[in-house]
Amino acid sequence: MVQTRKSVDRTGLIFRVLAVASLVAAFAQVTLGGIVRVTGSGLGCPDWPLCHGQLIPPFEFATLIEYSHRLSASVLGVLVLGTTIVVMMRYRPNRWGKNSVLTALALVIVAAILGGATVLTELAWWLRLLHLGIAEGVVAALIIAVVVSWRVSGNATANVAVTESNGLSKWTIAALVGVFLLILSGSYIVGAGYGSSCGTWPLCRGSLFPEGRPYIEHMAHRYFAAIVGVLVIAVAYSAWKSPKLPSVGRTGFLLLVVFAAQILVGALTVWLGFTAEIKAIHLSMATLVWIALVFVAALSYVPQRFADADAVLGHRESAAVDGMNAGGLKGRA
């Protein structure tokens, strides 16, 4: 019995470690993708899946940056596959865990295919946009897997939700959609060559409404960021006021801090002359905002605790018997 318990605890630990490692790898993958973008290294490896027709490419800056991005994708794929295997072997009936890892695995495969297509089409802007969207989807799916991995309490048969899902508020849904579209709009602005159109902040060329397509689209991104900011503040405030879920409150506060930092980094990007380093930080911070927001949603939405099906059934039967006994005693009285 003790040995079985240790085995169960070990399985839960493996699930947690793999889920967290996969999430870290997914963030690193998006970050490296941003570095590839801002350094113009997208064609550092002009072919796919090899790089310059080799497994080990030449030691050149652009090539190494792009090759690192591909290697990180391989690491991510292995970690997500490992997480999926653990879940399917020990937590298959748990639909929250199963659906999250299977979604992540499917999106990783799609992202790999899109990555190859992006190179072969010489960095078509719409493919890069789609590639980024899929990558952020991987991050979201893995966040759900991480939350589930901590709520199964190491129990390999923890497949039944003991508590119901709280659902998502309209503010949270709107913020999720808003932040996701904001990330994509930023990618579009960079891809269209409008990223450095407005050389001042918060105004653009001394105006709130500048003329000319590059300036209009750049400012549209800023205005959209302001709207999304209102949604983020609403979600963070709602999370902070949640008395039953302190973890949600703390994550909501973190979301607010990260979003405020992202606004500052956005301003610094302009003030420092759009250097590659600050642009890379800006792109990474956008994903951190997404991570914090999805964590707020997942911590609220995923059931608070899972347990063994037999244990839950036994608990419910015991509760029913207690209720009947209490009713009988009351009737006699």
Instruction: Concatenate the DSSP letters of all residues of 27-47 into one string.
Output: HHHHHHHHHHHHTT-TTSS-S
CA distance 261 to 256: 9
Residue 56 to residues 49, 60, 73, 131, 142: CA-CA distances in angstroms?
12, 12, 16, 24, 30
**What letter would DSSP give residue 48?**
S
Name the pLDDT band for 182 (thresholds 50, 70, 90).
very high
Global pTM value: 0.85
Instruction: Please tell me which residue, 238 or 142, carries the higher pLDDT value.
Output: 142
Contact of 11 with 86, CB cutoff 8 Å:
yes
Nearest to 23 by CA among 135, 106, 155: 135
- pLDDT by residue (tens digit) across 219-247? 999 999 999 999 999 999 888 887 667 78
Average pLDDT over the chain reads 84
Instruction: Please tell me which residue, 246 or 1, carries the higher pLDDT value.
Output: 246
Q: Backbone phi, then psi, for 158, in 5-degree steps?
A: -80, 85
Q: Backbone phi, then psi, for 306, in 5-degree steps?
A: -115, 150
Name the pLDDT band for 8 (thresholds 50, 70, 90).
low
Name the pLDDT band for 6 (thresholds 50, 70, 90).
low
- Distinct helix (H) and strand (E) counts, the chain: 9, 2
Query: Is residue 99 scored above 60 in pLDDT?
Result: yes
In the chain, the amino acid numbered 247 is S
Query: Is residue 314 scored above 70 in pLDDT?
Result: no
In the prediction, which pLDDT does 289 show?
A: 97
Rounded mean pLDDT, 182-209 = 89
Query: Is residue 333 scored above 50 in pLDDT?
Result: no
> Domain residues of the chain, as ranges?
1-161, 163-302
Q: Backbone phi, then psi, for 281, in 5-degree steps?
A: -65, -40
In the prediction, which pLDDT does 102 show?
A: 98
Nearest to 15 by CA among 73, 70, 75, 94: 94
Question: Read out DSSP for 98-167?
Answer: HHHHHHHHHHHHHHHHHHHHHHHTT--HHHHHHHHHHHHHHHHHHHHHHHHHHHSTT-TTEEEESS----
In the prediction, which pLDDT does 134 show?
A: 96
CA distance 66 to 159: 41
- pLDDT by residue (tens digit) across 262-275? 999 999 999 998 88
Instruction: Please tell me which residue, 98 or 333, carries the higher pLDDT value.
Output: 98
Query: Is residue 276 scored above 90 in pLDDT?
Result: no
